[in-house]
Structure 1
């Protein structure tokens, strides 16, 4: 089996991957504590943290070298997304890099977008929306890429829309394309819409990776509490009602992480081979992250529902982040449609690929 064929099945990290992930974990451990996360809740955005990330190359890495970026793979980006999810980082990094990569494909990316000095948002809803729509990074983005009928359009606003309070503590806002101060058509017809669909798939993959990181940290918080809390002279972590859910969280982390990396690899290398994987990763983590965070709150008892408990911060984001792109059920339906089309194209005598 050659290296390329092996990589379709093996999603272990290389030394460079581990170094990349370690670098971002170190940065976020130092500059994105839970206190920083709480302090940013009113706006959903920490400008200082964003600037630190961009200075480290978090924005430029997502764009190809021909456009002035570093040409990172989508698998590389999942590693950064995972660390941002682990830290609950209040920055619109996923929206920005997916929008920047879309702009690159449509010939509209420039140096300010590459460096992150101008933030670009993305309408992440899978089902086409007309008129006013909720944009996950709408209150902090300088420009926003949306799909308008058969066109992909870049909108600019002189005054940013007002933030809407939301469960995920995102810088979310209602955006009306008709009120934009500038409007640039990036492309139209099937090629432009296909590029937009690719951006949405990347958004789902990176959001899934972020949720995997969130679940892992949620598990760590719950496990540390379970080791220190005693009942009848033993740590509560030794009880099956606690240890089994914690084991399930570990399975979710590993399974979800591998699924996100697998989806990223296929999008980069064989986008037409397994187009359902992006949706699979997103739907799986959207459901399991909320379950894991809820269990972490249960393990901590009354402590887990207080504003001072870190588990609460993870719980609301586990439930809210997956909704930033609309109903996850739309992704589930798309996965079903892709698989149904593939199976209907297989003759009765031919084995079905799963």
Structure 2
């Protein structure tokens, strides 16, 4: 078996991957404590954290070298996304880099977009929408990329749309393309729609990876609590009603992580071979994240459901981030069609 064939089966991290992962773990642990997350809930965006993240190269790394970036792989990007989820970082990094990578594929890379000084985002809904639509980063993006029929357009507003309060605490807003102050058609036709679909797959892949990090940190909070809370003279972590669900969550975390890395590798190297993998990460974690976070809150009892509890902050985002791109069921339907089409050809 040659090295390329082996890599289709082996998704362990290299030393470079581990160094990248450690760098972003340290960055978010230092720069994004739960107090920072809470302080940003009103707007859904921490501008200072965003600028520091951009200065670290998190936006330029995502672009190909031909577009002025560092040529990071999608596996690299899943590692950053996981750390964003682990710390609930209030920055639209996933939205921005997916939109920036789409612009680069259209040959429209710009230095200010690569650097993150101009913030771009896209409409991640799986089904084409008409009229106004909710966009996760709609209230903070300078430019928005949308599908309008067979056209892919970029719109901007003299005054950004107002943020809509949402369970995921995102900078979400209703965006009406017909009310835009500027509208430019980037590309049209089947090839343009295929590129947009690629951006949607990347968005779902990275959002799924972020949910993996979110769930793992929620589990850690619950485990540490269970080790120190006693009942009948023993830690509650020794009770099967606590330990078994937490063990199941650990399995979910590792399963989601492995699936994300596998999907990232195929999307980068053999995108037509397993196109269902990237959306599968999102559908799997969208369901499992809410279930796991709910269980972790349950472990803490009344403390877990208090507004001040960190576990509660994770729970609402586990539910909100999973539906930020619309109904996960629409993505599941696409997965079914992709698999049916492949099986029909075999």
Question: Which TM class, normalised by the smaller chain length?
Answer: over 0.9
Task: Find the aligned partners of 1:220 and 1:257 in 2 and give their Cα distance.
Answer: 16
Task: Find the aligned partners of 1:321 and 1:25 in 2 and give their Cα distance.
Answer: 20
Q: Describe the superposition over 1:187-217 as per-residue Cα deviations: whole angstroms up to 9, x where unpaired.
A: 0001110000000000000000000000100
Task: Find the aligned partners of 2:343 and 2:5 in 1 and give their Cα distance.
Answer: 23
Task: Find the aligned partners of 1:7 and 1:293 in 2 and give their Cα distance.
Answer: 32
Task: Find the aligned partners of 1:62 and 1:279 in 2 and give their Cα distance.
Answer: 19
Please state if 1:231 is matched with 2:246: no
Alignment of 1:39-118 (within 5 A): 39-118=39-118
- What is the deviation of 1:168? 0.3
Equivalent residue, structure 2, for 1:179 = 179
SS of the aligned residue for 2:315 comes to: helix
SS of the aligned residue for 1:325 comes to: coil
Equivalent residue, structure 2, for 1:205 = 205
In structure 1, runs of 5+ residues without a counterpart are 347-354
Task: Find the aligned partners of 1:137 and 1:118 in 2 and give their Cα distance.
Answer: 13
Q: Describe the superposition over 1:52-89 as per-residue Cα deviations: whole angstroms up to 9, x where unpaired.
A: 10000000001011111111001100000000000000
Q: How many residues align?
A: 346
Q: Deviating runs (4+, > 3 A) in structure 1?
A: none
Task: Find the aligned partners of 2:317 and 2:37 in 1 and give their Cα distance.
Answer: 11
Task: Find the aligned partners of 2:122 and 2:74 in 1 and give their Cα distance.
Answer: 17
Task: Find the aligned partners of 2:135 and 2:344 in 1 and give their Cα distance.
Answer: 36
Normalised to the residue count of structure 2, the TM-score between the two structures is 0.99
SS of the aligned residue for 2:164 comes to: coil
Equivalent residue, structure 2, for 1:129 = 129
Equivalent residue, structure 2, for 1:266 = 266
In structure 2, runs of 5+ residues without a counterpart are none
Task: Find the aligned partners of 2:319 and 2:71 in 1 and give their Cα distance.
Answer: 32
Equivalent residue, structure 1, for 2:222 = 222
- What is the deviation of 1:121? 1.1
- What is the deviation of 1:300? 0.1
The alignment's C-alpha RMSD in Å is 0.6
Equivalent residue, structure 2, for 1:312 = 312
- What is the deviation of 1:109? 1.9
